[in-house]
Structure 1
Amino acid sequence: MMTHNTSSDSYYMELAEQKPFGYSVTENPYFKGFEFEKVDLFWWQRFASENWKLGFYAGALYIAAIFCIQNYMKNRPAFELKRSLFWWNLTIGILSMVGFVRTLPGFLTVLTKGGFYNSICVKDGFDIPTGYWCVAFTISKYVELGDTIFIVLRKRPLIFLQWYHHVITLIAVWLTGPLVEPISRWYVVLNCMVHALMYPYFSLRAVNVKVPVYVANIITTLQFSQMLIGFSVNMTSWYLRHNGYDCARDPLSINVFAFVYGSFILLFGKLFYDSVIKSGRKLKEKKKQG
């Protein structure tokens, strides 16, 4: 494990003394925080807490905007936007890769040293990169609403899953983020991992680069797996709390993510069945007939 001398880091010293949000701070994090990662976490927590309705407002505006644009584009030619879409997806993909690399070490440290229970229930092992990228993760849910704008401007099919998962994730993350729960590491790391693969794939597709079908199937499988794992860890924390274990979970957060991941399992499960299992069977039948 890489260690760093943090004794001369005033930001780290102040953070450790304050026990941020009730957490102990990791003494020697795998990665020392970069200067841009040393943000005022307490300000962000207060801002999100005091403006908890912002996610609902943004979600309502988003839904109104995409359907208004879709209606506006009905009798107009579609925008191409290939280059813009390429850079949009690539940028989000790269940021997701960085977020994954920066949050994974802290997550693995808590998971391997404290165990599974600590990783979902105990406020332990807070580190600077994780704090920053959890804030960035929350803000990114507003940015990702732009995905659907590209779809309607290019007059591509707009399915329920596309806009529903964006708006419900934004509301859930913005509403529960200020609670700064240990289980959030699971959600952030899993999401960054999937997006680190998904968005670069979309960027290649945007400029008509032929990508093997199995790559899309892997991404869809990972998406569905993410929902299953997210639902499982959430309900495990509910079970522990319900049976008298000390678990740093808020009932609101448990209920919100039970609904979010439960609905995602149904929607992404259908996508997984249609695009991976069903299409795989058809491909095998074609090969047999050929």
Structure 2
Amino acid sequence: MAVNISNDPYYNDLYYSKPFGYTILETPYFQGFEFEKIDYLGWQQYILENWQLAFYASAVYITSIFGIQRLMRDRKAFELKTPLFIWNMLLGILSIIGFIRVLPGFYTVLSEPNGLYNSICVKKGLDIPSIYWAIAFAVSKFVELGDTLFIVLRKRPLIFLQWYHHLVTLLVVWTTAPFVEPIVRWYGVLNAGVHSLMYPYFALRAIGVKIPSYVANFITTMQFSQMLIGFAVNMASWYFQHNGYDCERHPLSIKIFVFVYGTFIFLFGKLFYDSVIKSGRKQKEKTKSKAN
């Protein structure tokens, strides 16, 4: 890559100080917008010192959603079409922007020699957009708890997968974020990519827009694929460590993600089977019966 160091003190400091032990990407794109130039060390320290906030929020979250669900038992459901549309559309727009901003850095590292290994294990190729959106990703896990609030206020079925994956994701992100591991780039790109499709879909559904069933099936397939890929790259880092390669992964982080992605594969796998495979078979059977 051609060296292109700007006169921007923020970028220069990032380039020469190599924060968290990372080398820095060197093209104008990766110098970032002004709003992306934040106190990254301060944020890391804040999360490190306040990781328990995620557990406090989780306790409030569980108490609130099941408490509200009980209170709503004999009450009329709220419609909330417009607020739900705005909520999902805003989260969708943020996910799309985040995906666009972090994908180039991820692709740059992945496309170089030994790219897969480097993207998982080596502190190489950090950039301003990725730093900013990684922190935004961590904070957004608090915001996304609001998804469940809409479900209980509208008296929609609250399945285990829905509240469990929000709860666990928040706890895991805030527990492992201070490690600043290279593999996080995988988790961020996968999550932002899927949410870029999921939240706009939910926004349109909230206002009654009819969307073909194959769109929902595609999103469900992407969700399940996200869990499979997340589990695979986590196990790849374990493989590298146990076969003599240097791999910047904390043993606790590997164990946590084995558990998390393992349960997600089971839960999203069931959703994928029920929503895509099983329903697809039923639809084919109906089509055949009509033809006969």
For this structure pair, what is the TM-score category when the shorter chain's length is used for normalisation? over 0.9
CA drift of 1:4 comes to: 9.1
Alpha carbons 1:187, 1:230 under 8 Å: kept:
yes
Alpha carbons 1:29, 1:106 under 8 Å: kept:
no
Alpha carbons 1:4, 1:32 under 8 Å: kept:
no
Aligned to 2:51: 52
Q: How does 1:4-15 map to 2 (within 5 A)?
A: 5-15=4-14
| CA deviation profile, 1:240-279 (whole Å, cap 9, x unmatched) | 1112210000011101111110000000000000000000
Aligned to 2:22: 23
Aligned to 1:86: 85
Aligned to 1:281: 281
Aligned positions, number: 289
CA drift of 1:52 comes to: 1.5
SS of the residue corresponding to residue 31 of structure 2 reads coil
CA drift of 1:27 comes to: 1.7
Aligned to 1:195: 195
Q: How does 1:59-98 map to 2 (within 5 A)?
A: 59-98=58-97
| CA deviation profile, 1:90-111 (whole Å, cap 9, x unmatched) | 0000000000000000000000
Alpha carbons 1:30, 1:106 under 8 Å: kept:
no
CA RMSD after TM alignment: 1.2
Query: Runs of 4 or more off by more than 6 Å in structure 1?
Result: none
Unaligned runs of at least 5 residues, structure 1: none
- Equivalent-residue separation in structure 2 for 1:7 and 1:161 (angstroms): 47
Aligned to 2:225: 225
SS of the residue corresponding to residue 267 of structure 1 reads helix
SS of the residue corresponding to residue 140 of structure 2 reads helix
CA drift of 1:30 comes to: 3.5
CA drift of 1:113 comes to: 1.2
CA drift of 1:29 comes to: 5.2
CA drift of 1:6 comes to: 3.5
Letter of the 2:45 counterpart: R
Alpha carbons 1:29, 1:127 under 8 Å: kept:
no
CA drift of 1:67 comes to: 0.4
Alpha carbons 2:105, 2:127 under 8 Å: kept:
yes
Aligned to 1:132: 132
Aligned to 1:179: 179
Letter of the 1:153 counterpart: L
CA drift of 1:17 comes to: 2.1
CA drift of 1:15 comes to: 1.2
The two structures have a TM-score, normalised by structure 2, of 0.97
- Equivalent-residue separation in structure 2 for 1:4 and 1:141 (angstroms): 36
CA drift of 1:31 comes to: 4.0
Letter of the 1:18 counterpart: S
Aligned to 2:207: 207
| CA deviation profile, 1:148-200 (whole Å, cap 9, x unmatched) | 00000001000000000000000001110111100000000000000000000
| CA deviation profile, 1:63-115 (whole Å, cap 9, x unmatched) | 01100010111111111100000000000000000000000000000001141
- Equivalent-residue separation in structure 2 for 1:4 and 1:51 (angstroms): 37
Alpha carbons 1:4, 1:29 under 8 Å: kept:
no
- Equivalent-residue separation in structure 2 for 1:232 and 1:163 (angstroms): 24
- Equivalent-residue separation in structure 2 for 1:118 and 1:221 (angstroms): 27
CA drift of 1:287 comes to: 0.5
SS of the residue corresponding to residue 79 of structure 1 reads coil
- Equivalent-residue separation in structure 2 for 1:230 and 1:141 (angstroms): 17
SS of the residue corresponding to residue 157 of structure 1 reads coil
CA drift of 1:53 comes to: 1.3
The two structures have a TM-score, normalised by structure 1, of 0.97
CA drift of 1:35 comes to: 0.4
Letter of the 1:67 counterpart: F
SS of the residue corresponding to residue 168 of structure 2 reads helix
Alpha carbons 2:11, 2:31 under 8 Å: kept:
no
Alpha carbons 2:36, 2:128 under 8 Å: kept:
yes
Alpha carbons 1:86, 1:203 under 8 Å: kept:
yes
Aligned to 2:32: 33
Identity of matched residues, %: 67
| CA deviation profile, 1:105-138 (whole Å, cap 9, x unmatched) | 0000000114100000000011000000000001
Letter of the 1:35 counterpart: E
